[in-house]
Amino acid sequence: MKKILVINSGSSSIKFQLIKMPGEIVVASGLVEAIGLDNAALHYKSKKMNFFEIMPIENHEVGLKKVAALLLDEEKGAIKSIEDIDAIGHRVVHGGKDFSDTIVIDAEVKKTIKRLFSLAPLHNPHNYTGIEVAEEVFPGTTQIAAFDTAFHQTLPEKAYRYAIPNKLLDENYIRVYGFHGTSHKYVAEKAKDFISKKKSKLITVHLGNGCSITAVKNGKSVDHSMGFAPVNGLVMGTRSGDIDQAIIFYMVNTLGYSLDEVSEVLHKKSGMLGLTGYSDLRIIEEKAAEGNRECQLALEMNAYRIKKYIGAYAAVLNGVDAIVFTAGVGENSSVLRKLICDDMSYLGIELEDYKNNVRSSENRIISKETSKVLVLVIPTQEELEIAKDTYRLIN
């Protein structure tokens, strides 16, 4: 059995799991959330104990060092020494044209990940920090990178190309890369348990602080809402999703924004935050229930955008067997799932309200028995998917 530590450094959080492979036994797990705020939270769970503490966590480096200290702690920890870790698997968002599969990290891989910062500014820098800190805390341990873009390498050319001059693809590699691939791949595989036929047409909906939707045909990604960088597509926590590109020219040429300021707005000040002042959907739902019109409208806009993509991908797939909701918001927000699925009977989508309102960590059906399209909630396990790939490389 190999012990693999999986580190998933997101835009404002760090998820981690210590997993024994190939048995898929989780020895320890946890979450650092709300990084950068005074009320950041550290969750930790092992066979020995559960641990939770509210504390200021300035940045990802501080958070990762606290995680390492917990794993090695004599009382709370799950390992006796750093030698107990056989490999560390890192989630890396953008692999560009360079990486189509999981890979052992060396100096050249790190250099490329760093070069891709501009394509995923909310993620790749934090992913890179995770690698750097892990190398410092666990020297000599094999480090593995698993890329969110890898699952979407199966996109057909008609889907991944933009209608721009050919040389921008041929010379500059500007194309759709796609993201959240580890999550979409995992839930698409799990959805097979609910579908009797061998061939399947799925629409997987990953809703968290970052959001994306994928058309999956027979286990392969064939279309995806994010593109060259993870800012377009659905409405997200702080990212705009789809906008008319002419707005960028208007902001620069007429309103006087610099390009860096436009990037800051679209990546960090837009989405649900820009619409409501909040990026946490739990708070937005609470405010909406209290009658806050801005929050109500933001939820409606969020759901409306997802509906449009579901319709488009049903056309791309020529039908759909199941819609799968996953990730923090997709798994837990019955409000948003209902807004999305309401008035979709033309496509054969019928939500069962009492099933939708049940909170559960189980893979489950939330559609009516009469629904022609299954509606599923499947909690994503990106860390387990990364552990599988990591084990494959070191074994």
Can you say which residues are annotated as belonging to the binding site for substrate?
91
* 3-state SS, residue 74: coil
Quote the strand ranges of 133-226, DSSP E: 142-147, 201-207, 211-217, 220-224
CA atoms within 13 A on the CB side of 363: 15
Residue numbers annotated as active site: 148
How many Cα atoms are found within 13 Å in the side-chain-facing hemisphere of 227? 15
Rounded alpha-carbon distances, angstroms, from residue 140 to 82, 143, 211: 9, 9, 35
Give the other-Cβ count within 10 Å of 289's Cβ: 11
Beta pairing, strands 201-207 & 220-224:
unpaired
DSSP 8-state class, residue 232: S
- Reported as type and span, the H/E element at residue 374 is strand 374-377
Residues 358, 366: Cα–Cα separation, whole Å = 9
Round to whole Å and give the CA distance between 30 and 35: 14
CB of 314 closer than 8 Å to CB of 347: yes
Burial annotation 27-51 (CB, 10 A radius, 16+ → b, else e): bbbbbbbebeeeebbbebbbeeeee
Kindly tell me the sign of the dihedral angle through the C-alpha atoms of 367, 373, 375, 381.
positive
Do 52 and 41 form a contact (C-beta atoms < 8 A)? yes
**Rounded to 5, what percent of the chain is helix, strand, coil?**
40, 20, 35
Residue ranges at the known binding site for ATP: 15, 206-210, 280-282, 328-332
Question: Residue ranges for the binding site for Mg(2+)?
Answer: 8, 382
